[in-house]
Structure formats: structure tokens, C-alpha cells
Structure 1
Amino acid sequence: MARLRSFQRLAAHFVDIADFLLVYIEEAHPSDGWVSSDAAYNIPKHQCLQDRLRAAQLMREGAPDCPLAVDTMDNASSAAYGAYFERLYVIQEEKVMYQGGRGPEGYKISELRSWLDQYKTRLQSPGTVVIQV
């Protein structure tokens, strides 16, 4: 949940230049599977979409100002973005502009903050042309 709060602060800080979306995917540490000793919630493995929607509601409570989507039961979003089990992306005009490392080790809010700071500076600099390659 600490990472979720950090993400929420980041989203609030950059609300003027970016839209943020959380995508709830497969539970990383289900209570009936590989249990984490520091798990904040007791969430069993999702057996159906309703299970996943109920679990996602807990995330919604942790980040109420950010839109929330839920991955399909075949984990299409997770597979497409290699998000197993958490990852940060910036997507512009259907192109991946920033791809963070895989969580938990590669999930670095500070790295995304730096990217967004640089992007914001480019947007605010007069005469600067941003060319996407």
C-alpha cells in the first residue's frame, strides 16, 4: 500500500501533464498460494472476474482519485505489458515512451518522477521542439 500512496502522490503532482490509470492484475501473493509475510490483505487467488473486481475495489480505496481498470481473467494486460506483478509505463499516442522495470525490485516511482520532470521541462521550455522517434 505504501507504493500505491507514492503513486497517488506522483499522479497528483503531475495531473497537469498526464492522465494516470491503475490496472489491477492477477494477485501476486494470494492467501491460498505464495503468501507474503507483509501482505496488507487476505485475498485468495481469483477464480472468476467477480473475485478480481472485489479485490480491485481494495485498490480503489487506496487511490480514490485515479481511474482503475481490471485485467481479464486470461491476464491479457499483464502479458502484453510484462507487468507481472507491478510495472510503471508512460504511453503517448499508442507508443511506450517509458517502461519501468518489473516489480517489485524494478518498480521505481523515483525513476518515473524523473522522467515526468524532464518531460514537463521540455513542455514548458519555449522554442523547444519535442520529436518522438
Structure 2
Amino acid sequence: MTRLSAYQRVVRQYAEIADSLLVYIEEAHPSDGWVSSDAPYQIPRHRCLEDRLRAARLLDVQGSAVAVDTMDNSSNSAYGAYFERLYILKDQRVVYQGGRGPEGYRLSELRDWLERYRSDVEGSKAVVLHV
């Protein structure tokens, strides 16, 4: 949850140039599976979409929309997001793909990309990105 707080700060910091969307995928450490001892919540394996929606509601993500992946994990499969991953989309194309989490998850890279983008659009008409 520490990274979620840091992600929320980035969302707020760049809200004027980037929309954000958090996609909740399958639970990495379900309470009835590979349990993590430091998990803030005990979430069992999702058996239906309502389970996944219920788990996603536990995330208090202010400033960012939250969506859930389908039960066949189509977003996770398409983007290779498991466990967590950061993307920036511009004009319906992936322009930034972070490494796979948790080791490859780098908010600093996301921030750097957004800073460069902000510098490029200063003084010109702003374009909204989807993060």
C-alpha cells in the first residue's frame, strides 16, 4: 500500500496534464492461496467479477479512477501487468511501459517521463494523457 500512496501523489501532481486509471487485476496474494504476511487486507481468490469489484473497492484511490480486469484477465494478459505495472498511453498508443512489479515498478521513471512531457507542452496547447 506504500506504493499506492506514492502513485496517488504522482496522480495529483500531474492531474493537469494526465488522466489516470488504476486497473485492479487478479489478487497476487489471495488469503486462500499464496498469502503475504504483510498484506493490509485478507482478500480471497476472486471467483466471480463481484469478488473482484469488492476487492477493488478496498482501494481508496483519490484522484484516480479504478477499473477491474475481466475474470479471464484480458487486460493483465494484453499488457503483461502481473503483479503491477505502469503505462502511459498517448493517442491510443503505449508511449511508456514500466518494468514488471514489484522489482521493476519505478514511479521515478513515470515522474521523469511526465516532467519531460510537461516541459514539451509548456506554452503550447496541452494534451491530456492517460496514465
Name the TM-score, length of structure 1 as normaliser.
Answer: 0.90
Structure 1 counterpart SS, 2:18:
coil
**Structure 2 segments unaligned to the other structure (5+ residues):** 125-131
Cα distance, 1:36 vs structure 2: 1.0
In terms of fraction of residues, the more helix-rich structure is 1
Which is richer in strand?
Answer: 2
Q: Residue 9 of structure 2 aligns to which amino acid in structure 1?
A: R
The answer on 1:92 being equivalent to 2:117 is no
Q: What is the CA-CA distance between 1:125 and the residue it aligns to?
A: 5.8
Give the structure 2 partner of residue 119 of structure 1. 117
**What is the percent sequence identity of the aligned residues?**
61
CA RMSD of aligned residues (A): 1.0
Are 1:109 and 2:107 matched, yes or no? yes
Please tell me whether Structure 1 or Structure 2 has the larger radius of gyration of its CA atoms.
1
The equivalences for 1:70-89 within 5 A come to 70-89=68-87
1:48-71 deviation line (CA, Å, top 9, x unaligned): 001000000011x2x132111110
The residue aligned with 2:129 is: none
Identify the residue that residue 52 of structure 2 maps to in structure 1: 52
Higher relative contact order (CA 8 A, sep 6+): 2
Give the TM-score of the pair, scaled to structure 2. Answer: 0.91
Structure 1, unmatched stretches of 5+, are: 127-133
SS state of the match for residue 71, structure 2? coil
State the shift of 1:44 in Å: 0.4
Consecutive aligned runs of 4 or more in structure 1 exceeding 2 Å deviation: none
Partner Cα separation in structure 1 for residue 42 and residue 89 of structure 2? 32
